[in-house]
């Protein structure tokens, strides 16, 4: 399960108001739109595997549009 899968689950089952770049983006590590901070390290949510507890934050130094979506990516 990837971080993106977790975000999809949250969106579909817990909080449909969460904003993030979903699988409708490239899903091939090309566009980098799903880049977030995962457990204090930047990474692509579409390819980062989940192991244990998880903290997800928007990228620093970018203006946050909403939740995990930042301006400039």
Q: Where are the domains of the chain?
A: 3-70
CATH 3.10.20.30 fits 3-70, yes or no: yes
- What confidence tens digit (pLDDT) does each residue in 27-53 have? 666 778 899 999 999 999 988 999 999
Report which of 65, 73, 25 is spatially closest to residue 7, judged by C-alpha positions. Answer: 25
CA distance 7 to 71: 19
The pLDDT of residue 11 = 96
Q: Is 64 exposed, middle or buried (0-12, 13-18, 19+ CB in 10 A)?
A: middle
pTM for this predicted structure: 0.87
End-to-end CA distance of the chain: 24
């Amino acid at each position: 399960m990837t971080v993106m899968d977790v975000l999809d689950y949250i969106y579909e089952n817990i909080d449909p108001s969460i904003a993030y770049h979903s699988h409708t983006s490239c899903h091939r590590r090309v566009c980098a739109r799903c880049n977030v901070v995962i457990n204090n390290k930047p990474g692509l949510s579409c390819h980062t595997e989940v192991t244990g507890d998880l903290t997800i934050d928007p990228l620093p130094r970018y203006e946050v549009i909403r939740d995990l979506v930042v301006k400039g990516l």
